[in-house]
Amino acid sequence: MVHLARGALALTAALLMTTAASAQQRVLTFTTDNNDPAPKAAWEQLVADFEAENPDVDVQMNIMDREAYKTAIRNFLTTDPPDVANWYPANRMAPFVSAGLFLDISDVYAENDLTTKLASTLPIVTQDGKQWMVPYTYYQWGMYFNRTVYDQVGATIPATWEEFLANCEKFKAAGIDCLTTGSSQLWPIAGIFDYLNLRTNGYEFHKALTNGEVAWTDDRVRATFAEWAKVLPYTTANHAAIDWQDAVPLIVQGKAANYVMGNFAVAAFKEGGMTDETLGFLPFPTINADVPRAEEAPTDAVFIPAGAKNVDDAKKFMAYVARADVQTKLNAALGQLPVNADATVGEDPFLKAGFEMLSTTPGGIAQFFDRDAPAEMAKVGMEGFQEFMVRPENLDAILDRLEKSRARIYQ
Amino acid sequence: MPATGRLTQRKLAPWLFLAPGLIMFMVYVIIPIFQSMWISFYDWDGLGEARWIGTANYVELVDDDAFYTALKNNVIWLVLYMLAVPAGLLIAIFLNQTITGMRLYKSLFFFPFVISQVVVGLMFSWFYAPNFGLFYSLIEWLTGSGVAILADDRYVTYGIIAAGLWPQIAYVMILYLTGLNNVAPDQVEAARLDGAKGWRMLWYVILPQLRPATFIAVVVTLLGALRSFDLVSIMTAGGPFGSSRVLSYYMFEQALSEYGYRMGYGAAIAVVLFAIMMIFISGFIWKMWRDETER
């Protein structure tokens, strides 16, 4: 009997302790898709710093696979939403905001003066006049190249499209792919299309096209594809069978010279053995000199789901992620650019080049084809790009199909 | 009173025993079928408000090139997947001998059916992979230039079907091996006395006795072909530019994938796929019913 009573006492004590612990520490659940080693470590550090500053909050980070996250988000937002999650702004957030699945965080923006500190990205996180997301990073896209093969064939770093194509002749003679990509996941070639389009027709046209205001059968769209056709003979032949990571070794091993990619690829190039001396970066070459230079720089952001349980701490977390010193540290670890205007850019040469390029852009900064265009249009569009790369003779049929989709999607 | 009580009990009992199964079947199969049909008349992104649009989804489907590509691929799948039946029979007959270590050979042949379809898909992806894949290198050695099967819209569907046939043949083989165990030895003996051997023996004596196994093999192969989804998803995700899509994958893409915000359109594709399956399923049910009532 004594034993039993003592056991009961211990049990009660244990129960009391757990309740005491949970009363002291409030749980903040954070679901994210940053499962690559570097971003994962960067976010774990950020969470640890946040907990150190807020000892009464216990952040539980739940990391998911990046590709699976893109479909899982709809399930967990409607069934069991976390307190904080990450996603992409602009058109990718629009359906969720319209469905009332995001929490309005305009008050976080007002209290922390974020409308000025995050001014550059304000338009893409604003919908219906309210703010829905806090951007924490962005990164440039451009042309990454292997300096060794440039020296090997005696190519000069191109500033214009003609120079680039002239280099391609030299690479072809040496049996090297001038331009490589992996299109099995489709999005890498959307970067190529965007740049060709931005250089041929400019940022305003890009915006009009992704907003559905211009016909896909328009002559200006055809002009973009005509430029693309010029580089197709020099592009890696089996791009449709590989994804973007599979094309990285081609650059590393010198089997290909140029790769249109986002700055996150630098980590992969360096893992393959390239250094700041052998890996080069250049802005996408000029096609039409009359078009003001515009660049592509997708932004990533965090948000609070409408069904969040711990809204107060989630808002604290939003304000924390928006802070200049936090963004400086996070992006130094991510190898990307901070959004907060007061934050400082890391020492990495590619980051500096990217920051330099983006901060001097006269034309405008695009998000990315699949973020500026609605999801359905992005899908059929990117499929059309891939078909064009494999079967350029089908261009008319492709453009007719895209035009038909445009008529339906933007109605 | 006890007599009527027993009568109702006798009437009621089977239903009570059937109830758990029936309820499950209603909740997980029958009701979702009608829900899908219902959704196919809506424009719905899966998140917000659904909007009634009548038959507009079906009208669009009739005019959708991607739908016809998927439909055509489904037909190719149906036809070529049937090769698993004769191939499985051939291997089963070949393996139906008594020599030492036969169990080992049988399990080796059965191996592809045991491993997951995802693994099969990955293995064949590497097999076809440009520059280092076995098949690619073989073609390169034979013809001088390699063909990346999964990147070529002309060959991609055949490449995936070949991957699907590998485990399917093993499955059919097992069905036939068990069937061969039940072949009456006295009939074989009698046929042998009458001078039957080789093809005639197979065609007139063995095959008729294998009819139940053949029936099951055809059914599972047909439905397997129509359900083909995992291999397409793993090996190509429907690409290049949608040329290896089948109806089930197209439905998934439209309704549930990264860019899929069209529940209604996806449901309409599902209804069409269901209608095609119904043709075969009702054929099978009719045959089974006929066989049972004749006996």
Q: Which residues of chain B neighbour A74 with C-beta distances below 8 Å? A: 46-47
- Tell me which DSSP letter residue A102 carries: B
To which residue do tokens 């027709």 refer?
A201
Question: Residue B206 domain-assigned?
Answer: yes
| Closest Cα in chain B to A394 | B241
Q: Which residues of chain A neighbour B148 with C-beta distances below 8 Å? A: 237-238, 240-241
Give A388→chain B minimum CA distance, Å. Answer: 9
Given a cut of 80, whether residue B294 has pLDDT beyond it is: no
Nearest to A383 among B46, B47, B242 (CB): B242
Strand A364-366 with A294-296, pairing: parallel
CA dihedral B230, B236, B239, B245 (to 10 degrees): -20
Q: How many CB atoms lie within 10 A of CB A230?
A: 15
Q: Over the stretch A375-388, which tens digit does the pLDDT of each residue have?
A: 889 989 999 999 99
- The set of residues, in sequence order, having a beta carbon less than 8 Å from that of A11 and lying 6+ positions away, is none
User: How would you write chain B as a 3-class SS string?
Assistant: CHHHHHHHHHHHHHHHHHHHHHHHHHHHHHHHHHHHHHHCCEECCCCCCCEECCCHHHHHHHCCHHHHHHHHHHHHHHHHHCCHHHHHHHHHHHHCCCCCCHHHHHHHHHHHHHCCHHHHHHHHHHHHCCCCCHHHHHHHHHHCCCCCHHHCCCCHHHHHHHHHHHHHHHHHHHHHHHHHHCCCHHHHHHHHHCCCCHHHHHHHHHHHHCHHHHHHHHHHHHHHHHHCCHHHHHHCCCCCCCCCCCHHHHHHHHHHCCCCCCHHHHHHHHHHHHHHHHHHHHHHHHHHHHHHHHC
Please give the helix or strand (H or E) that residue A66 lies within, else none.
Answer: helix A66-78
A406: its two tokens: 């445009």
Q: Model confidence at A19, in pLDDT bands (50, 70, 90)?
A: very low
Q: Which residues of chain A neighbour B258 with C-beta distances below 8 Å? A: 67, 70-71, 375
Give B199→chain A minimum CA distance, Å. Answer: 44
Q: Model confidence at A29, in pLDDT bands (50, 70, 90)?
A: very high
A355: its two tokens: 């920051």
Q: Is the ipTM of this complex over 0.90?
A: no
Please give the helix or strand (H or E) that residue A331 lies within, else none.
Answer: helix A324-334
* Structural domain spans, chain A: 2-135+301-342, 141-296+359-409
Give B147→chain A minimum CA distance, Å. Answer: 9
Q: Over the stretch B63-108, which tens digit does the pLDDT of each residue have?
A: 888 899 999 999 999 999 999 999 999 999 888 887 888 888 888 8
Q: Which residues of chain B neighbour A378 with C-beta distances below 8 Å? A: 259
Given a cut of 60, whether residue A7 has pLDDT beyond it is: no
Question: Residue B218 domain-assigned?
Answer: yes
User: Mean pLDDT across the stretch B264-271?
Assistant: 94
* CATH number where B115 lies: 1.10.3720.10
Query: By the 8 A CB rule, do B112 and B120 touch?
Result: yes
Output the average pLDDT for chain B. Answer: 88
Task: Report the SS3 class of residue A114.
Answer: helix
Give B128→chain A minimum CA distance, Å. Answer: 9
Nearest to A240 among B45, B60, B151 (CB): B151
The yes-or-no answer to whether A2-135+301-342 and A141-296+359-409 have a common fold is yes
Specify the pLDDT at position A1. Answer: 41
Distance CA A89, CA B115 (A): 41
Interface test with B, best of A70, A244, A379, A395 (most B CBs within 10 A): A379
Q: Over the stretch A229-238, which tens digit does the pLDDT of each residue have?
A: 999 999 998 8
Chains A–B, number of C-beta pairs less than 8 Å apart: 84
Cβ of A183 within 8 Å of Cβ of B262? The answer is: no
Please give the helix or strand (H or E) that residue A187 lies within, else none.
Answer: helix A187-201
Task: Report the SS3 class of residue A131.
Answer: strand
CATH topology of domain A2-135+301-342: D-Maltodextrin-Binding Protein; domain 2 (3.40.190)
Cβ of A384 within 8 Å of Cβ of B241? The answer is: yes
- Closest by CA to A312, choosing from A78, A83, A133, is A83
Q: What percent of chain A has pLDDT over 70?
A: 94
Distance CA A410, CA A403 (A): 11
A62: its two tokens: 């739940």
Cβ of B241 within 8 Å of Cβ of A242? The answer is: no
B81: its two tokens: 């997947």
Q: Which residues of chain A neighbour B65 with C-beta distances below 8 Å? A: 401
Cβ of A98 within 8 Å of Cβ of B240? The answer is: no
Query: By the 8 A CB rule, do A273 and A252 touch?
Result: yes
Cβ of B258 within 8 Å of Cβ of A183? The answer is: no
| Closest Cα in chain A to B130 | A238
Give B55→chain A minimum CA distance, Å. Answer: 15
Of A7-11, A282-286, A345-349, B252-256, minimum mean pLDDT range: A7-11
Rg (CA), chain B: 24
Q: Which residues of chain A neighbour B234 with C-beta distances below 8 Å? A: none
Distance CA A261, CA A101 (A): 32
Q: Which residues of chain A neighbour B46 with C-beta distances below 8 Å? A: 74
Task: Report the SS3 class of residue A181.
Answer: coil
The CATH classification of domain A141-296+359-409, taken from the options 1.20.1250.20, 3.40.190.10, 3.40.50.2300, 1.10.3720.10: 3.40.190.10
Output the average pLDDT for chain A. Answer: 88
Given a cut of 90, whether residue B46 has pLDDT beyond it is: no
Specify the pLDDT at position A16. Answer: 46
Cβ of B130 within 8 Å of Cβ of A238? The answer is: yes
Burial class of residue B197, CB neighbours in 10 A (0-12, 13-18, 19+): exposed
Chain A residues near any Cβ of chain B (below 8 Å): 67, 70-71, 74, 78, 95-96, 98-101, 183-186, 237-242, 370, 375-376, 378-379, 383-384, 386-387, 390-391, 401, 408
Specify the pLDDT at position A71. Answer: 83
What total of structural domains would you count in chain B? 1
Distance CA B248, CA B73 (A): 11
Residue span of the structural domain in which B132 resides: 65-294
Q: How many CB atoms lie within 10 A of CB A15?
A: 10
Q: Which range, A33-42, B13-22, B106-115, has the best average confidence (pLDDT)?
A: B13-22
Cβ of A391 within 8 Å of Cβ of B153? The answer is: yes
Question: Residue B90 domain-assigned?
Answer: yes
Please give the helix or strand (H or E) that residue A22 lies within, else none.
Answer: helix A2-24
Cβ of A237 within 8 Å of Cβ of B131? The answer is: no
Nearest to A375 among B130, B237, B261 (CB): B261
Interface test with B, best of A69, A87, A184 (most B CBs within 10 A): A184
Phi, psi of B98 (to 5 degrees): -110, 95
Question: Residue B95 domain-assigned?
Answer: yes
Cβ of B258 within 8 Å of Cβ of A70? The answer is: yes
Q: Over the stretch A51-101, which tens digit does the pLDDT of each residue have?
A: 999 999 999 999 998 878 888 898 899 889 999 999 998 888 888 998 899
Please give the helix or strand (H or E) that residue A14 lies within, else none.
Answer: helix A2-24
Nearest to A240 among B47, B240, B261 (CB): B240
Q: Which residues of chain B neighbour A391 with C-beta distances below 8 Å? A: 153
A3: its two tokens: 């034993």
Nearest to B48 among A98, A387, A408 (CB): A98
